[in-house]
A = this chain, B = another copy of it.
Amino acid sequence: MKLEVNRHANTSIAQQLEAGIRAWIKAHGAGGGRRLPSIRRLAATHHISRNAVIEAYERLVAAGLVRSRPGSGFYVADNAASFTSQPAVNNALQEVTNGLWGLFNANEHALKLGCGWLPSDWREGDDLTHAIRSVARKSRPGIFEYSTPHGSQLLRGLIQERLRPLAITADAQQIVMTGGGSHSLDLLVRMLLEPGDVVFVESPGYYNLFGLLHLQRIRVVGVPRLADGPDIERLEAMLVQHRPKLFYINSVFHNPTGSTLTPAVAHRVLQLAEQYDFQIIEDDIYADFQHTPTTRLAALDGLRRVFYLGSFSKSLSSSLRVGFIASPPPQVQPLVDIKMLTSISASRFAEQVVTTLLQNGSYRKLTERLRTKLSSQMAIALTMLKGAGWEIYTEPAGGMFVWAKPPAATSPQQLSELANRWDVMLSPGHLFFADHQATPWLRLNVAYMQDPRAKAFIDAASLKRPEGRIN
């Protein structure tokens, strides 16, 4: 058995081996019983570590294709045939999710230059640890009980206060706590949409949402995202052609371009929403990275057509899973109902920890420091990229993301090989486009650009002739 192994592919060696053996079984031995090469032999033939082979075999055993006989080796399982072709749902999902979770599975030493969260060493542990210990010490309901269906009343009141400086007047009764931004999106999609409905998204935009919409059989149409928000001219033209029920917009420090909605575009979007009768999800999960508030759709609209999404995952902790929806009043109860039916409340503990940090002022101070740090890191990143000749889509006023393109005609494949060489993990650019078009643009997270590997990768990708593949 000779398998193809590419040390610089996006998938791990073990995954490649697994796929190779799976294909081999399908072609040669799906009848079962056939003996497979030993760990030692596969490792030697392919010049790879034995651990990679062990991992591949473990996956195949778990998947039911291979069985292991202790002391004897690995054999094709008797019923392997039924597993080599996966069910339809898998294939559909695979198309949506292929390669999406690499960054979540990355080893701790890889530089997650393409990821959507802050590095652990940027996070400030003391206040959070203190709040966690305080809730654990003081609140029996906090550590034991389900939260209420809407989520903590106290926390919702504090969020109401936090929305005031953004000129969003939401009553606490309009705020529903969720398990983070993606959970909020899922609840809204389930409440507002039917299979076959059309949803406008920004393109480039938040790729996880595209997958979610495909899962729900929603038709996804991408509206180009410019430096000041969605492309209004294109939006108008597209509205003549399509009748979306919903438009999803990332207003501030847009993922992936880092751009921020201007008041004029916000106003125009809302006019069009009125005229063509669609609702809007304003995803504002990067709000707390912003120094001086800019115009929010939810502020102009008064939460009539706009559902406003916030989260503490980006600023405070991704582990706690706390986000919220500020909703038009008639949709509050349906959102709560769907939330309860599908997950029975969120974590009371996590809600109380966030409440503690909002109440004692730590959260305010912590986000102030984060903003300052991000601003200075953004400046450094832009200088570095410009110095290396990269094109910058728009210069973000803050946040984590810059959307940039290397100067040389580098293929996505070449970029990924270069990244692998420096143990840098990217989010492939095509994922951010609703139609998954190939692109040389990359989302870079400036919080990771202090690491010398970032500069090495950026500089290498700037060479006119990047080195060829190593295979």
Q: Could you tell me which A residues sit within 8 Å of B by CB distance?
A: 58-59, 61-64, 83, 86-87, 89-90, 93-94, 96-97, 100-101, 104-105, 108, 117, 120, 123, 125, 128-129, 132-133, 136-137, 140-149, 171-174, 179-183, 186, 190-192, 195, 208, 211-212, 215, 317-321, 328-334, 336-338, 340-350
With a cutoff of 8 Å between Cβ atoms, the chain B residues found around residue A59 in the complex are 173
Q: Which residues of B contact A211 (CB under 8 A)?
A: 337, 341
**Interfacial chain B residues near A318, Cβ < 8 Å:** 144-146, 348
A205 CB to nearest chain B CB (Å): 15
Q: Chain B residue with minimal CB distance to A185? A: B342
- By the criterion CB–CB under 8 Å, are B136 and A342 in contact? no
Find chain B residues with CB under 8 A from A333 CB: 90, 93-94
Asked whether, in the complex, the Cβ of B319 is within 8 Å of the Cβ of A348, the reply is: yes
Closest CB in chain B relative to A304 CB, distance in Å = 8
Instruction: Decide: B62 and A334 in contact? CB cutoff 8 A.
Output: no
- Name A183's contact: one of B133, B146, B319, B342 (CB within 8 Å): B342
Chain B residue nearest to A108 (CB atoms) is B141
With the chains together, A90 CA to B338 CA distance in Å? 10
A125: chain B residues within 8 A (beta carbon): 140, 143-144
Please tell me if the beta carbons of A186 and B343 are within 8 angstroms of each other in the complex: yes
Given contacts A133-B136, A321-B343, A321-B346, 19 further A-B contacts (CB under 8 A): A59-B173, A61-B171, A62-B173, A62-B329, A63-B329, A94-B333, A101-B340, A123-B144, A128-B144, A132-B136, A132-B349, A133-B133, A142-B319, A143-B319, A144-B319, A182-B341, A183-B343, A321-B321, A347-B350
Q: Which of B129, B144, B343, B350 contacts A182 (CB 8 A)?
A: B343
Most buried by B among A96, A105, A337, A340: A337
| A344 CB contacts on chain B under 8 angstroms | 180-183, 208
- Select which of B132, B146, B208, B347 is within 8 A of A117 by beta carbon: B146
Judging by beta carbons under 8 Å apart, are B190 and A215 in contact? yes
Whether A321 and B337, one on each chain, are in contact in the complex, defined by CB atoms closer than 8 angstroms, is no
User: Which residue of the partner chain B has the closest CB to A115?
Assistant: B146
Q: Contact: A173 with B58, CB < 8 Å? A: yes
> Interface residues of A: mostly helix, strand, loop or mixed?
helix
Contact call A93/B61, Cβ cutoff below 8 A: no
Residues of B within 8 A of A192 (CB): 89
| In contact, A104 and B340 (Cβ under 8 angstroms) | yes
A332 to B191, CA, bound (A): 27
Q: How far is the CA of A63 from the CA of B331 in the complex (A)?
A: 9
Give the Cβ gap from A333 to chain B, nearest Cβ, in Å. 7
Complex contact A97–B349 (CB within 8 A): no
Instruction: Tell me if A320 and B345 are in contact (CB < 8 A).
Output: no
Quick check: A342 and B186 within 8 Å, CB to CB? yes
24 A-B residue pairs with CB within 8 Å: A59-B173, A89-B192, A90-B334, A97-B340, A100-B337, A104-B146, A105-B149, A120-B141, A125-B144, A132-B143, A145-B319, A146-B318, A180-B343, A180-B344, A182-B343, A183-B342, A208-B340, A208-B341, A208-B344, A215-B338, A317-B349, A319-B347, A321-B343, A347-B350
**Most chain B CB atoms below 10 A, which of A89, A179, A344:** A344
User: Is the CB–CB distance between A332 and B93 below 8 Å?
Assistant: no
Assembly CA distance A192 to B93 (angstroms): 12
B337 lies within 8 A of A96 (CB): yes
| Cβ–Cβ < 8 Å partners of A62 in chain B | 171-174, 329, 332
- B148 near A341: Cβ-Cβ < 8 Å: no
Minimum CB–CB distance for A129 against chain B, Å = 5
Q: How far is the CA of A221 from the CA of B150 in the complex (A)?
A: 30
Instruction: Tell me whether A345 and B144 are in contact (CB under 8 A).
Output: no
Q: Are B144 and A97 in contact (CB under 8 A)?
A: no
Complex CA gap A85/B59 in Å reads 54
A342→B182 contact, CB < 8 A = yes
**With the chains together, A133 CA to B132 CA distance in Å?**
7
The closest CB in chain B to the CB of A179 belongs to B343
Contact: A129 with B120, CB < 8 Å? no
Contacts of A147 in B (CB 8 A): 319
